[in-house]
Structure 1
């Protein structure tokens, strides 16, 4: 729940249900959590999976200290970071990722992976992610492949063609 709340602070989304405490509901649509941040973080590729429990403990310790310094009362029914308002979560994450913070590297890494789940679906194949309606890829306007599974782009990304096709390019786009 704590790591979900952190990911939601990085790329906010809407609550999954009215009683959802990890997701603050600070933005419409799916954010980092709906985009698979936890699945990405728990996967072997990023190397953070073994550290997640420790990161959650440390984040909750920081949240407790943050709340005490500001005279905030936290709800004991959820972890301390989750009990913070979205504005306070954001302020705490800004403190933890500041250049002078001694633990900056681990919090920035956690933030990067949270963002990566949203904007690249790094834990999924692109075709599968789009077929499942991945909120991040759809939000950033990632094009779906044509019905034959091949990506073609009817408009040039720079607004103009940059080069002519090589005369030996096949219909699938591969050079001969």
Structure 2
């Protein structure tokens, strides 16, 4: 599998992920991240790493998706009278409000390519919501932006999650008598 992306393609995918779950700029020259929110968004949460993971099934199409986003950005710019800056990819050059408007078009139920853009948006969300590209304990130890913002509880010192308080304030069922101390059935 060839997952080699150009820097422009990476920036385009980052700009799309940042449109789905915005974050703060990585520095003053950052063009891919619009800086529409404080804290880490989808990009800081690992959206590109998740998109590139072989398990996700998107890696082989990312170059085409990035190029398609830029083609749609060119068309959008022409329709609304924008002149894209030629030094960055067209989607990256767009103001955040225009990125949102184009993403809404691409994600609209009537758009013929909707399934492609929904998949890309889902990977952006999964990176922030779950840190799916890494083990949860590692993500929490690294201060994963999404998990930290949501208040995801860290595991007990032995690396296991136990919930002394049940979500309904009581156990939902009695533990089976042959359940081992690790929670495995016998």
CA distance in 1, matches of 2:134, 2:173: 32
Judge which range, 162-171 or 60-69, deviates more: 162-171
> Does structure 2 conserve the Cα–Cα contact (< 8 Å) formed by 1:150 and 1:172?
no
| Aligned positions, number | 176
1:58 is displaced (CA, Å) by 0.9
What is the alpha-carbon distance in structure 1 between the residues aligned to residue 73 and residue 151 of structure 2? 35
CA distance in 1, matches of 2:154, 2:176: 25
1:163 to 2:173 alignment: yes
Q: What is residue 9 of structure 1 aligned with on the other side?
A: 19
Aligned partner of 1:38 in structure 2 is 48
- Segments of structure 2 that go 5 or more residues without pairing to the other structure are 1-10
- Secondary structure at the aligned position of 2:54 is classed as coil
Say which of 138, 162, 182 aligns to 1:172.
182
| Partner residue, 1:134 | 144
Aligned partner of 2:8 in structure 1 is none
1:158 CA displacement: 2.9
How far apart, in 1, do the equivalents of 2:57 and 2:180 lie?
40
How far, CA to CA, are the matches of 2:79 and 2:14 in structure 1?
A: 24
Q: Does 2:113 match 1:113?
A: no
TM-score by length of 1: 0.93
CA RMSD of the aligned region, Å? 1.5
Q: 1:29 aligns with which of 39, 45, 57?
A: 39
Following superposition of structure 1 onto structure 2, how do residues 46-61 of structure 1 map, counting pairs within 5 Å? 46-61=56-71
Shift of 1:129: 1.2
- Counterpart CA distance in 2 for 1:172 and 1:132 is 27
